[in-house]
C-alpha cells in the first residue's frame, strides 16, 4: 500500500481511513471480515483485467473506440423497424440527464415527489394520446408489453390461445412466443398466426374468423403494422374478437396518434406499444420501451404486471402527492403468485417522453403526423419511378413501407452494401423473415427527412441498380 493512490470514486480508499474503521470494529485486517466465505470457495489467483485508466485515459480510449461507429447523423438513414429516427428536442435530453432522477432509487413519496409526478405525467399524457384512463409504468419494450398483455388476457378470460397478426416484427413475435411458453409447459399459450392480405397488407378477416374460437383469449394486431400499413379494419377485427369472447389487444406507434384514431375508438381493450419515438434517441436499440394501457376497470387493473403511480392526497389539505398503487399484486409483493414479473424497466425514458409530449401538445402531434405522412408518401412516389423498384403496399401507410427490388435482379443485401458507399443506410432487409415478399426492404421516412434527402436516396438507388 506504500504507493497507494486513493481512487476518485471511493472516498474511503485512503489507507488511514480504512485503518480507522478497522480499529473501530476491533479487527486487524479486512480479510477477517470475509471469514464467512470458506477458503475453498475463494479464487486462488488475482483477477486479470486490463489496467485501470484515469479519466483522461478513459475518455481517449472510449472516444477512439466509439469513433469506429458510423452514425445516422453523418449518414442518411432509412432504417426503422421498431427503432426510429425522429427529432428529439434538446430539452428532452437536458431533463432526462438530471442527476436527481438518474441516480435515484425508491424513497418515500415525499422525497421522490418530483420524479413520481414526472412519471404520473408520462402516464397521464400518454393516456390523452390513447384516450385511455389506466396506463402502467413502462415495461422494457413493445414486445415485452405485447407478451404481458397477452398473458393478462389469458388470466382475464381463462383461455389459452391467442391470434396474432403475421405481419409483425419477427423479434417481437419471438418475444411473444417466449412469453406464451413452449408446448411442453402446462400453461402454454397457443399462438395462431393470422395471415395478411398480400395485396393490401391488411389483416385477412376470413383467416381471422377461421383462427379464433372458444379458447381464444385475445386477438393481437398492430396499426401501423410492421409493414407500415394503417390497419383500417380495426372495428371489424374487434367485433369478430368480441363476438368470440376474446380481448382485443392493439399495438400502436404513439407518434401516429396526432392524426390516426386511437385504438380504443375502434374497439381495443388493451393497447400496447413503444414510446421510443417520443423524445428518445435510437441509442443502438437501447432507446426502446413498452407501455400497457386499458380502461380504468378493476378487471384490467388487477392483471397488470407493471407498477402504477397514482395521484393522491397528503396530510396537508389540497396538496398533491404521488405514490405506488397496487404494489402488492406485483412480483415484488407476491413473488411467484404475483402477475408475471416486474423489475428494472425503462422509467427514465418515461421522463423524456413526458417532456416530449408536453412540448408537442395537440398541434405538434398533428403537425408531425402530417409531415411524416406526406414525406413518406412522396418517397414512395420517387422510388416507384425507379426501373425495377416497386412499393408493395403503395397506399394507406404511415411512416414505413415495403420496397421490392425483385425486378432489379439484386438482393437487398447487395443494394444496401452499395448504398453504404453513398453514405446511405438502406431499409431493413425482409428477405429472410418474409420470403413471400421477395427481395424486399422496410424503409422508414420521418419528419427528419427532407425532400432533398429523399431525392438523394432516389438518385443513389438509380446508380446502385444500374451498377
Partner 1 sequence: MSTTLKEYHAPVWSEPVILEMGYPGRRGVIFSDVEAEVQAAVGSADGLIPANMRRTRKPALPEMSEPEVLYHYLRLSQQTLGMMNISLFGTCTMKYNAQINEAMAWRPEITHVHPYQDEDTLQGALEVVHGMDTILRELSGMDQFIFQAGGGADAAYTNCAVTRAYHASRDELAQRDEIITTIQTHPSSAATAAAAGFKVITLMIEENGYPSLESLKAAVSNRTAALMVNNPDDMGVYNPEIREWVRVVHEAGGLCFYDHANFNGAMTKIRARELGFDACMFMLHKTFGAPKSGVGGPAVGAYGCSAELAPFLPAPVVAFDGERYSLDYDRPQSAGKIREFWGNVPVILKAYAWSRAMGAEGMAEASDISVLANNYMEKGLLAIRGVTRSHPEATSPRMEMTRYSLEQLKEDTGVDVHDVQNRMSDFGIDPMWSSHHPWLVPEPFTPEAGEMYGKEALDTWIAVLAHISDEAYSNPEIVKTSPHNQAIHRLKAAPLEDPLRWAMTWRSYLRKNSKKTA
- Residue 348 in contact with partner 1, rule: CB under 8 A: yes
In order, the DSSP letters of 162-174 are EEEESSS-HHHHH
Binding residues for partner 1, how many (CB under 8 A)? 216
Q: What are phi and psi of 164, to 5 degrees?
A: -125, 135
Least Å from the CB of residue 465 to partner 1: 18
Q: How close are the terminal C-alpha atoms of the chain, in Å? A: 66
Residues in 223-242 at the binding interface with partner 1, rule: CB under 8 A: 223, 230, 232, 234-235
- Residue 158 in contact with partner 1, rule: CB under 8 A: no
Q: Smaller CB distance to partner 1: residue 245 or 324? A: 324
Tell me how crowded residue 60 is: count the other CB atoms within 10 A of its CB.
11
At residue 448's C-alpha, the angle toward residues 446 and 453, to 5°, is: 95
Distance (Å, whole) CA 19 – CA 273: 54
Distance (Å, whole) CA 223 – CA 118: 28
Q: Smaller CB distance to partner 1: residue 110 or 411? A: 110
- Residue 286 in contact with partner 1, rule: CB under 8 A: yes
- Residue 377 in contact with partner 1, rule: CB under 8 A: yes
Distance (Å, whole) CA 412 – CA 78: 13
- Residue 28 in contact with partner 1, rule: CB under 8 A: no
Q: Smaller CB distance to partner 1: residue 138 or 277? A: 138
Tell me how crowded residue 323 is: count the other CB atoms within 10 A of its CB.
18
| Most distant CA atoms of the chain, gap in Å | 84
Q: Smaller CB distance to partner 1: residue 157 or 314? A: 314
- Residue 430 in contact with partner 1, rule: CB under 8 A: no
> Which one of 152-160, 211-219, 237-245, 362-370 is the stretch in contact with partner 1 (CB under 8 A)?
362-370
- Residue 259 in contact with partner 1, rule: CB under 8 A: yes
Least Å from the CB of residue 436 to partner 1: 20
Least Å from the CB of residue 64 to partner 1: 9
> Which one of 15-23, 157-165, 214-222, 244-252 is the stretch in contact with partner 1 (CB under 8 A)?
15-23
Q: Smaller CB distance to partner 1: residue 245 or 382? A: 382
134-135 and 161-165 strand pairing: unpaired
Tell me how crowded residue 377 is: count the other CB atoms within 10 A of its CB.
16
> Which one of 212-220, 245-253, 368-376, 456-464 is the stretch in contact with partner 1 (CB under 8 A)?
368-376
Least Å from the CB of residue 15 to partner 1: 10
- Residue 160 in contact with partner 1, rule: CB under 8 A: no
> Which one of 209-217, 318-326, 399-407, 458-466 is the stretch in contact with partner 1 (CB under 8 A)?
318-326
At residue 223's C-alpha, the angle toward residues 217 and 229, to 5°, is: 130
- Residue 81 in contact with partner 1, rule: CB under 8 A: yes
- Residue 5 in contact with partner 1, rule: CB under 8 A: no
Closest CA to 466 of 402, 395, 418: 418
Angle between helices 451-466 and 412-420 (to 10 degrees): 120
Residue bearing cell 368480441: 242
Distance (Å, whole) CA 83 – CA 86: 9
Q: Smaller CB distance to partner 1: residue 71 or 411? A: 71
Task: Pick from 76, 137, 149, 403 the residue near partner 1 by CB under 8 A.
Answer: 137
> Which one of 204-212, 214-222, 338-346, 456-464 is the stretch in contact with partner 1 (CB under 8 A)?
338-346
Contact 134, 124 (CB under 8 A): no
At residue 448's C-alpha, the angle toward residues 406 and 66, to 5°, is: 85
Residues in 97-136 at the binding interface with partner 1, rule: CB under 8 A: 97-115, 117-121, 123-129, 131-136
Cell numbers placing 200:
393490401
Distance (Å, whole) CA 377 – CA 366: 17
- Residue 358 in contact with partner 1, rule: CB under 8 A: yes
- Residue 347 in contact with partner 1, rule: CB under 8 A: yes
List, in order, residues 6 or more apart from 73 with CB less than 8 Å away: none
- Residue 260 in contact with partner 1, rule: CB under 8 A: yes
Contact 113, 322 (CB under 8 A): yes
> Which one of 64-72, 157-165, 210-218, 457-465 is the stretch in contact with partner 1 (CB under 8 A)?
64-72
- Residue 197 in contact with partner 1, rule: CB under 8 A: no
Task: Pick from 149, 351, 410, 461 the residue near partner 1 by CB under 8 A.
Answer: 351
Residues in 33-62 at the binding interface with partner 1, rule: CB under 8 A: 33-38, 40-43, 46-55, 58-59, 61-62
The reply to whether omega before 224 is within 30° of 0 (cis) is yes
Q: Smaller CB distance to partner 1: residue 14 or 407? A: 14
Amino acid at each position: 500500500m506504500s504507493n497507494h493512490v486513493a481512487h476518485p470514486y471511493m472516498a474511503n480508499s485512503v489507507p488511514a481511513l480504512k485503518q480507522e474503521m478497522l480499529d473501530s470494529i476491533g479487527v486487524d485486517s479486512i480479510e477477517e471480515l470475509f471469514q464467512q466465505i470458506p477458503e475453498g470457495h475463494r479464487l486462488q489467483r488475482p483477477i486479470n483485467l486490463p489496467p485501470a485508466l484515469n479519466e483522461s485515459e478513459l475518455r481517449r480510449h472510449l472516444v477512439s473506440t466509439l469513433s469506429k461507429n458510423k452514425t445516422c447523423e453523418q449518414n442518411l438513414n432509412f432504417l426503422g423497424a421498431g427503432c426510429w429516427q425522429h427529432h428529439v428536442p434538446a430539452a428532452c435530453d437536458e431533463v432526462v440527464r438530471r442527476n436527481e432522477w438518474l441516480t435515484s432509487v425508491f424513497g418515500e413519496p415525499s422525497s421522490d415527489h418530483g420524479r413520481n409526478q414526472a412519471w404520473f405525467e408520462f402516464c397521464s399524457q400518454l393516456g390523452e394520446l390513447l384516450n385511455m384512463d389506466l396506463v402502467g409504468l413502462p415495461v422494457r419494450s413493445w414486445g415485452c408489453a405485447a407478451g404481458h398483455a397477452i398473458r393478462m388476457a389469458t388470466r382475464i378470460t381463462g383461455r389459452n390461445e391467442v391470434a396474432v397478426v403475421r405481419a409483425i416484427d419477427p423479434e417481437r413475435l419471438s418475444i411473444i412466443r417466449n412469453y406464451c411458453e413452449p408446448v411442453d409447459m402446462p400453461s402454454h399459450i397457443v399462438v395462431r398466426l393470422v395471415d395478411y392480405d398480400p395485396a393490401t397488407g391488411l389483416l385477412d378477416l376470413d383467416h381471422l374468423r377461421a383462427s379464433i374460437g372458444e379458447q381464444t383469449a385475445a386477438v393481437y394486431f398492430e396499426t401501423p403494422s410492421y409493414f407500415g400499413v394503417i390497419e383500417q379494419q380495426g372495428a371489424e377485427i374487434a367485433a369478430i374478437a368480441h363476438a368470440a369472447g376474446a380481448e382485443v389487444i392493439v399495438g400502436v406507434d404513439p407518434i401516429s396518434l396526432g392524426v390516426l384514431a386511437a385504438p380504443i375508438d375502434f374497439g381495443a381493450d388493451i393497447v400496447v406499444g413503444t414510446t421510443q419515438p417520443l423524445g428518445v434517441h435510437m441509442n443502438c436499440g437501447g432507446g426502446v420501451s413498452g407501455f400497457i394501457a386499458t380502461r380504468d376497470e378493476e378487471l384490467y387493473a388487477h392483471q397488470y404486471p407493471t407498477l402504477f403511480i397514482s395521484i393522491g392526497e397528503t396530510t396537508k389539505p389540497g396538496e398533491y402527492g404521488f405514490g405506488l398503487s397496487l404494489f402488492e399484486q406485483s412480483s415484488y409483493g407476491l413473488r411467484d403468485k404475483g402477475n408475471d414479473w416486474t423489475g428494472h424497466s425503462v422509467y427514465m425514458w418515461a421522463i423524456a417522453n413526458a417532456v416530449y409530449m408536453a412540448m408537442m401538445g395537440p398541434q405538434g402531434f398533428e403537425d408531425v403526423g402530417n409531415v411524416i405522412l406526406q414525406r413518406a408518401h412522396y418517397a414512395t412516389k420517387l422510388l416507384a419511378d425507379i426501373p425495377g423498384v416497386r412499393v408493395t403496399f403503395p397506399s394507406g401507410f404511415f411512416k414505413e413501407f415495403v420496397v421490392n427490388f425483385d425486378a432489379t435482379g439484386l438482393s437487398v443485401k447487395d443494394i444496401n452494401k452499395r448504398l453504404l458507399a453513398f453514405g446511405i443506410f438502406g431499409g431493413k432487409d425482409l428477405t429472410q423473415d418474409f420470403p413471400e415478399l421477395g427481395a424486399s426492404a422496410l424503409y422508414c421516412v420521418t419528419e427528419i427527412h427532407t425532400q432533398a434527402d429523399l431525392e438523394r436516396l432516389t438518385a443513389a438507388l438509380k446508380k446502385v441498380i444500374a451498377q
